[in-house]
Amino acid sequence: MTLGSSQFVFKSWSVTKTHALQLLAVVAAIFLSSVFTRECIAAPVLNSMQTAEQWEQIAKIRQQIAINHEVQSGNIANGNRSNSLDAGDLLDLAGDEKFLAAENYHKASQEWDKAATAYTSAGASQEAKIARDNMKAASAAAKRALTDGVYLHMKAKEQYEGTNNLIKQLDALEKAARNLERLSCGFAQCVNSLF
């Protein structure tokens, strides 16, 4: 190896300062590329986790809203709403609350599905499984609330028959039919017709 003014010689291979700088630039580029690639790969995973957590939070809020509607339905059905309403009106209102509960359980189910998808994208398989289980539970709760609503609306119709109130009978029957349609065709196909 001889040292010259601008050359290093290694067994018949010479490297000039220009070549050394180019080699250093390539090494630096490879290093920086690997750092940024790692950041780019980590960013979507982090973003997917944040997205999943946001969907999960929304699902939990929707479930709480649904639970509150079910509690309200029970309060109304037990006559805790108003002394000025007759039994048919109380039962009909309780059925309406069950419908609102079912809608929110259904929305929660959709949000749990989105959370499960995002968790899966982030590689969080345990969280994805929990989200899918919660999705199934919310869907079952929606069906149960719809079934309860049908029962309450039919009981309201019976009360309206006793008072010969045809308009309220028809209204209660419409609501019972709406709930039954949702049960048979699912929310996705029937969601366009609220009340």
Domain boundaries, the chain: 46-190
Q: Would you say 91 and 159 are in contact if contact means Cβ atoms under 8 Å apart?
A: yes
Distance CA 123, CA 131 (A): 13
Which one is predicted more confidently, 97 or 185? 97
pLDDT tens for 120-140 read 999 999 999 999 999 999 999
Backbone angles phi, psi at 165, to 5 degrees: -100, 90
Q: What contacts 176, CB < 8 A, 6 or more positions away?
A: 95, 149, 150, 153, 154, 157
Q: Which residues of 127-155 are buried (b: 16+ CB within 10 A; e: fewer)?
A: bbebbbebbeebbebbbebbebbbbbbbb
Q: With H, G, I as helix, E, B as strand and everything else as coil, classify residue 10.
A: strand
Residue 129, token pair as written in the block: 């499984």
Please state whether the predicted TM-score (pTM) of the whole model is above 0.85.
Answer: no
| pLDDT recorded at residue 34 | 57
What's the pLDDT band for 105 if we cut at 50, 70, 90? very high
Specify which residues 13 forms β-bridges with. 10
Q: Which one, of 59, 53, 38, lies nearest residue 122 by Cα?
A: 53
